[in-house]
Structure 1
Amino acid sequence: MRNLNRRISTRYKNLRIKYKLIVFISILLIVCLTFIIIGFQYAFNSYDEQIYRKSSQVLIMSSNRIEDELKNIEEVTYKIMGDDVIQNALLRSKDNSLTKYDQYQIEKEIWETLTSYIGSEKYIQSIHLFDRFGKEYRAGGVPSPNLYDHKDEMITKAEKGNGSNVWISLEGSKNSIFSTRQLKSYENLSLEKLGTLVIDVKLHEIVKELPKEWEDQEGYIAISEGDEIFFSEGNSTNVDKLDFTASDKQGYQIQNIYGRSFFVTYSKSPYANWTYWNVLPFGTMFAKVTMIKFLVIFLFLAISISSIYLVIRFSKRITNPIENLVSAMKFVQKGDFKLTENFTPSQYQDEVGMLHQNFFVMIERINQLINENYEKQLLIKDTEFKALQSQINPHFLYNTLESINWLAKVNQQHQISKMVESLGYLLRNAISLKDDVITVEQEVEMVEHYVTIQKFRFEERLEFSLVMDDKVKNAKLPKLILQPLVENAIHYALEMMIEPCEIRLLAYKEGDKLHLIVEDNGPGMDEEQLELVKKGEIKTRGNGIGLRNIDSRIKFVFGPEYGLQIDSEVNKGTKVRIVIPYQTRWDYV
């Protein structure tokens, strides 16, 4: 191996300068192209993960929306089952001595009642009520064509449900799903069978109104029970060819059918034991990215070929005079000193021209220039790479958050908008290096934005209250000493509790000192655990600012007599107090 490397090195060293430049530039371009391809592959993998996260979120939201509508319809079946008019009418219909007028009255009462329930839900196609003799009472629009073909099957499944709601999908009714429930008499708690209720639900209308994940894409949503698809959106001709088997709760797959790739996201739901599938054509999703990829590679190849061509032209302009000089020197080595009569000096006033004056000195200078050129090329590439790295600016993050906030407002997602605004405020103030010292009012505002975000997470479990004396609003203090205390209260109090947790923030002046208190009614700590916390021997969760860090900052700025105090009792909560000098002007460095 060493001999091979030595031969290659020797062969390279013996090449003419113009060929050395061509080889060097070619290797450099190949290395750059390799890094570009690796970067594209990494970007595609990251893009896959982003698509999966977005598809999973949209799919879960869509499944929740579908199930909410189905639960509403299930509630309608429950109301119909307990409706007094329906109960009385079905009990009266058992009487064999009824006249035709009485039967007409019963049919009218049932029809009017069922019609009133249809108006309560826009996704109900029709309602069918079969009494125990098989007679049908119907209200609504035209039912699915094969409903009556599977009438006995639905009645049997409803009986197995024993009064609970049962969802049934029928082969050939891809746009509908049926809710069935057995009706029983509540009179004297006899629980006598009165009939079977069947509601034809327009499942395709529910799915049609779901928000689309990718605009102008030919994707669709499918729903399966076990390994069998009972609903698919639109004219999905290839749905039967896809593999709808999933071992885990949620995930994604990339499947190929007839030369086309599909990005398939799935999520299992405990409701009715269904699995929701979101199928998107992989090619259309990556059409623009793939086009950019090939465009960049094409441009790179074009630039590479042009660079090699220019290097050849440039190297010839340099090496031709040198080759002429070498040829001339060979004559000189042979002792042919008449060369000066036939040798034409270089017309350029550069290093090559100086070679004609002093051969040995010029050879040394050319070697130095070549080495310097190599080093400069490497330095330029390294400088360009570092310059690209330094272009990542926090303003990109801020602008992205503003875009998310705008989209949330447009789509009436007020909670998302509020969270993004609060997160943007926190990031701007946390990342900003302009002011290390702020007012109490500004620090409290950061805490309020942080609590706003946490409230969307914990909802009613988080109860936050603020008591701040107006006199201390303009008092100065180091940035980020209150928000970590509230964060610790949430981690070690709220997250450990099932019932609501109250976190209080107090700020007041006492003499010439400023008191800042964060207290909670959480589980608290015993004396041994509290002592470990004060010594900083308990590792905090997450990557936040620890209590010992805050205490050290305060003592470093104001002196050892100030700092942070912790009081806690088991089952009575924890109180953290910060005491610093009260001042509206910052006199510390």
Structure 2
Amino acid sequence: MKLSTIQRWISPGRSIQGKIFIAFSAVTLVSIVSITVIVYMSMRETIMHNAVTSVSDSIRQADESLNMMLEEIDRLNTVVVTNKNTVIDTLLSPNEEISYEWFQEQKRIDEFLSVLIDYKPYITRIAVVGLNGKVYFSGGPWLDRTVLGSPMLDYMLQNGSRHAYFKQTGVSDAITVGREIRYNREPIGVVMVDLNYDFIQKTYGVKPTTDSMIYVLDMQGGFVYAAESAPSFAPSSDRIVGLNQELAGNGDAIKQVIDGRDYIVVSRRSGYTGWTTLALIPMDSLLSESARLRKLLAEVSVIVFVVVLIGSLQVSSRITLNIRRLKSLMMFVKEGNLTFPRKEIKGEDETGQLYRVFISMVEDLKRLMEGIRVSERAKREAELTALQAQIHPHFLYNSLNTIKYLAKMNGVPNIEEVSGSLIELMRGVLGNSSEFLTMREELDYVERYISIVKYRYMEPIRMVAQVEDDALLECRVLKLMLQPLVENAIIHGIGPLEREGLVLIRVCEEGGDLKIEVIDHGKGMTEGQKAALLGERGKSGNTSRFSGMGVRNVHERIVHLYGHSYGVKLYSEPGLYTKVEIRLPKLTECKGESEQEVI
């Protein structure tokens, strides 16, 4: 896969797949980093806790082991100081050296001491030192009268009422446990047992790390045990003594900065001896294992992140597959191809729903396009028909003009008048596309109509127009509004009487409206005839070639335009007259109407 393709996919501003990929990657990265940090911190705390627990348990076990040995030694000392026949009597005996009695005493006490320390490898020597200069011991090293007056003996005499512990240094290190020998409440000597120092080293030689250090200090601050092969950065003895005084053996594990280095310090005070055990664990050494764990976690996190990236790329690709298909179909339609190969998207999710809606929209668009094509074809046919309709009136006008000229040349004025009136009437009807005319133009049309129709009757028919104000002649009225009414008056009112007829047209203003009356003195109408006349629906074409609309049609046109307050009313008396009253709003201009167009 090309790098440019991957970059296009993961571009967050260009594709949904890229946004999904970035979102998956971001969430995964945050999750992995968070989990890794939490696991590392937890493991680090666990390592520290385990180290502290291990050291604390080791110190406790070491103290308990040492206490058991010291308790055993105390019991031996008790046996010695309470033995009168062998120990006390020998110390109080007046026998001098090199005598037989002294030899017997020496042999007896040596055997007694030897029996006490047999099979006890942690004891190197047991000695009974009398204040009178008698010295008896079993084990090693050698002991003689030089011990009298030594600091160790003085310490034992001062603190040995129960038991005293003294750390020897020199040729061989040892822990000496001593106790006074008293008789008659007076001290007569000391019994001392040396504890093998190797056992102490083995007991306290526990290290959670190679750089760890363990110290055992007595109640006077002296070192009972110090870690061997201490690292170069180990604190000084004075710093250890000061630290011991600060902690006072409270048994807690604390973090302490010593000489610029971080340590975990664990302290414990023995309830039997009063000694304090200090364990110093360097933090950097303790956490070296956590560093290896951190590296392992980082490597695993990188591997998991790469796997998730690859997986998210595949998942986002499958999720957006249908979206890309739908996009390709939309681009195909955008280019004008409404018929395209179907790539069925059968999913029930939002993408599948969008696909079905899109297909429905394309089908609707195809139907609309087909309808537009049909409409355009009908429009072209209508334009052709209109063009043909324009040719027919021209031909008719030319023909009527020819008849008019022939009548004039042959001296037939009636034919000339009828032809001229017909020409003007058709010019107004067919040549003017506006729905409105002036009152003056409407009266001219009526006059032309009467000049044509009067020749059908033997008796003359006259039209009289009475206009209240000449300004009313410029009011706008509906086109061919009066002609159907005049036609109805002549045909149904005046014509059947076969006598001279009169049609009176009155135009006046009443209540701010325009009122027009068409009156004839014909035979009149009954109420039923009036109702029937108003009930006509454009069927007046059966009685007139020109009107094409009846009284009812005129009434409906007025009501449709101006409302029910306006329209046509009929007044008639049979045998006397008929009056048609038209009420219109007084309009001097009509916006939106084109001017009269003359062909």
Normalised TM-score (structure 2): 0.45
Give 1 or 2 for the bigger CA radius of gyration.
2
TM-score (norm: length of structure 1): 0.46
